[in-house]
């Protein structure tokens, strides 16, 4: 077990990269348009739920242009089982209109322009860029936040500050680490009842309520 912080961080990075190098998002998408919609819908909603909703949505509105001209009520009804569906329906239609008007119908692939779109904040932009383009970025969702804190990689109170801490620690492989932290948090280091008995980073964990092996 390494003792210096730097050595600990390196070992955590190596373990996650080895394990999750080929991991992929569980959101189902075929192109940039679909992943952008999936990520917007996934805020405070499960990937499983989003994957149930999107096939009908994408069948009826297969691209930015069709979504820009969609009826709000229709989109609301197609995504009604998603959390915050009223706001999300407005956001995705407005986003599509902005892409048509401001970007000639092409979804921009840089952080600044993505974040100018309705419903797209820092986390959503980062997830799209790291998933779709493999960019060296972290995005801090509820799983990444929890795992980062339990592994003592950050003590920050907000997602934004946690992202800064992670970026200081990890200079490369951020997209793989993001994916790894999400899946590790979803299936092993769960919010309630973490599976500490199978945990492969048990010795690094500083969580006060971690279970004995
Ligand atoms: S020991 Fe338990 S709480 Fe700690 S990181 Fe592993 S699963 Fe999470």
Q: Summarize pLDDT for 148-178 with one digit per residue, the tens.
A: 999 999 999 999 999 999 999 999 999 999 9
Catalytic choice (5, 73, 88, 123): 123
Pair (106, 44) in one structural domain: yes
Pair (106, 54) in one structural domain: yes
Question: What are the residues whose beta carbons fall under 8 Å from the beta carbon of 16, sequence distance 6 or more?
Answer: 176, 177, 180, 181, 184, 201
pLDDT in tens, 98-152: 999 999 999 999 999 999 999 999 999 999 999 999 999 999 999 999 999 999 9
48 is catalytic: no
Pair (156, 122) in one structural domain: no
State which ligand 1 atom lies nearest to the alpha carbon of 198.
Answer: 7
User: Which CATH number characterizes residue 163's domain?
Assistant: 1.10.1670.10
In angstroms, what is the span from residue 16 Cα to ligand 1's centroid?
14
Looking from the CA of 163 toward its CB, the CA atoms found within 13 Å total 16
User: Which CATH number characterizes residue 104's domain?
Assistant: 1.10.340.30
In angstroms, what is the span from residue 51 Cα to ligand 1's centroid?
28
Pair (52, 114) in one structural domain: yes
Q: Is residue 148 part of a domain?
A: yes
Query: In the prediction, which pLDDT does 213 show?
Result: 77
In angstroms, what is the span from residue 211 Cα to ligand 1's centroid?
8
Q: Is residue 166 part of a domain?
A: yes
Q: Is residue 99 part of a domain?
A: yes
State which ligand 1 atom lies nearest to the alpha carbon of 209.
Answer: 3
Please indicate whether residue 100, judged by its CB atom, sits closer than 6 Å to ligand 1.
Answer: no
State which ligand 1 atom lies nearest to the alpha carbon of 194.
Answer: 7
What pTM was computed for the model? 0.92
In angstroms, what is the span from residue 147 Cα to ligand 1's centroid?
8
Domain end, chosen from 107, 132, 157, is at 132
Task: State which residues form the domain around 166.
Answer: 5-23+138-204
Please indicate whether residue 15, judged by its CB atom, sits closer than 6 Å to ligand 1.
Answer: no
Residue 195 has pLDDT above 80, yes or no: yes
- The dihedral sign for the CA sequence 35, 39, 45, 47: positive
Pair (71, 152) in one structural domain: no
Pair (126, 46) in one structural domain: yes
Q: Which one, of 206, 209, 162, 213, lies nearest residue 5 by Cα?
A: 206
Structure-token match 């709000």, residue found: 72
Query: In the prediction, which pLDDT does 2 show?
Result: 72
Token code pair at residue 193: 């009842």
The H-or-E segment that residue 106 falls in is none
């Amino acid at each position: 077990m390494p003792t210096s912080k730097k050595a600990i961080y390196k070992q955590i990075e190596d373990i996650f990269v080895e394990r999750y190098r080929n991991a992929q998002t569980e959101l189902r998408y075929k192109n940039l348009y679909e992943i952008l919609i999936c990520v917007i819908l996934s805020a405070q909603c499960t990937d499983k739920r989003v994957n149930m909703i999107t096939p009908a949505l994408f069948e009826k509105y297969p691209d930015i242009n069709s979504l820009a001209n969609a009826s709000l009520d229709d989109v609301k009804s197609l995504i009604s089982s998603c959390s915050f569906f009223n706001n999300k329906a407005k956001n995705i239609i407005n986003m599509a209109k902005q892409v048509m008007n401001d970007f000639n119908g092409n979804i921009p692939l840089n952080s600044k322009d993505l974040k100018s779109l309705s419903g797209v904040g820092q986390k959503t932009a980062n997830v799209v860029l790291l998933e779709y383009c493999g960019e060296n970025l972290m995005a801090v969702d509820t799983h990444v936040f929890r795992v980062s804190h339990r592994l003592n990689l950050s003590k920050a109170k907000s997602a934004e500050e946690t992202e800064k801490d992670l970026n200081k620690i990890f200079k490369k492989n951020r997209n793989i680490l993001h994916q790894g932290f999400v899946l590790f948090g979803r299936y092993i280091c769960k919010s309630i009842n973490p599976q500490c008995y199978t945990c492969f980073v048990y010795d690094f964990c500083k969580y006060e309520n971690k279970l004995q092996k």
